């Protein structure tokens, strides 16, 4: 299955620490978007990467940063973790400019203690 | 930016009955409206979508309707089954741009 893969699946961090989450897009996709899904809420857009650049950004502080590599995979970094950063972090891949074929990964469950 | 509202937040129906979930959006430039099903601990999965040039779309027991003038769209599930129990999210976007999600509807189908 050449779907979207995310790692790790679960992570526990201490307040103030830094975390890196990883995403490999579906084969053939070139754009990666990251979402934060708090418990009982809909996913909230963090940012989107295409051609190794951040193309769009949601209403998240600079503590959230990312990167996209030449093979289209992506990382989400969160610095100075807060308790409120505990959530499911979802990666979605797509083709740039297209809304069809938007595919989500299974997510990384981050718990900040 | 776009604002998507979704109702109801919880919905219980008897097996075999129909379920309807409604969403409204604020940005008239939004032109793509997908619906996702998310089971506990799993990824959101696309179940049906509709574009702004279409008023209705159907796929077996699932249908979506769109009223561009009123800026609302709805998900209809007929002949519900226990396996339809999940959280459903609506979303709105412009092509290639971020998805704005509703807050979700927890659907329970009672056998």
Considering only CB atoms, B43 lies closest to which of A48, A58, A106, namely: A106
The 10 Å CB-count burial string (b at 16+, else e) for B67-79 is ebeebbbbbbbee
Considering only CB atoms, A99 lies closest to which of B6, B44, B93, namely: B93
The yes-or-no verdict on residue B74 having pLDDT over 90 is yes
Give the separation between CA B55 and CA B84, rounded to whole angstroms: 24
Write down the pLDDT at residue B52. 87
Residues of B in contact with A96 (CB under 8 A): 96
Give the separation between CA B98 and CA A48, rounded to whole angstroms: 8
pLDDT band at A2 (very low <50, low <70, confident <90, very high): low
The yes-or-no verdict on residue B19 having pLDDT over 90 is yes
Per DSSP, the three-state class of B84 is helix
Residues of B in contact with A33 (CB under 8 A): 98-99
The yes-or-no verdict on residue A1 having pLDDT over 70 is no
The yes-or-no verdict on residue A49 having pLDDT over 80 is yes
Chain A interface includes B101 (CB < 8 A): yes
The yes-or-no verdict on residue B23 having pLDDT over 90 is yes
Percent of chain A with pLDDT over 70: 97
Query: B102 and A45 in contact by Cβ < 8 A?
Result: no
B92: closest CA of chain A, how far (Å) = 10
Write down the pLDDT at residue A24. 97
Phi, psi of A30 (to 5 degrees): -125, 0
Lowest mean pLDDT among A31-45, A71-85, A89-103: A89-103
Write down the pLDDT at residue A96. 83
A15: closest CA of chain B, how far (Å) = 24
Residue-wise pLDDT for B42-62, tens only, equals 899 999 999 988 899 999 999
Residues of B in contact with A41 (CB under 8 A): 103-104
């Amino acid at each position: 299955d050449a779907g979207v893969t995310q790692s790790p699946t679960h992570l526990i961090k201490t307040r103030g620490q830094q975390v890196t989450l990883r995403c490999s897009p579906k084969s053939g996709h070139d754009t990666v978007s990251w979402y934060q899904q708090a418990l009982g809420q809909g996913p909230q857009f963090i940012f989107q990467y295409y051609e190794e650049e951040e193309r769009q950004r949601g209403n998240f502080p600079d503590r959230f940063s990312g990167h996209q590599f030449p093979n289209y995979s992506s990382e989400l970094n969160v610095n100075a973790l807060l308790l409120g950063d505990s959530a499911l972090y979802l990666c979605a891949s797509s083709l740039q400019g297209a809304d069809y074929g938007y595919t989500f990964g299974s997510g990384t469950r981050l718990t900040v203690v | 930016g776009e604002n998507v509202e979704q109702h109801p937040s919880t919905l219980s129906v008897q097996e075999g009955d129909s379920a309807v979930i409604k969403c409204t959006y604020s940005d008239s430039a939004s032109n793509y409206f997908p619906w996702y099903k998310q089971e506990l601990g799993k990824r959101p999965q696309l179940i049906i979508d509709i574009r702004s040039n279409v008023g209705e779309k159907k796929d077996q027991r699932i249908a979506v309707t769109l009223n561009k003038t009123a800026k609302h769209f709805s998900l209809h599930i007929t002949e519900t089954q226990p396996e339809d129990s999940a959280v459903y999210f609506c979303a709105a976007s412009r092509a290639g741009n971020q998805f704005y999600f509703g807050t979700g509807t927890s659907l329970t189908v009672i056998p």
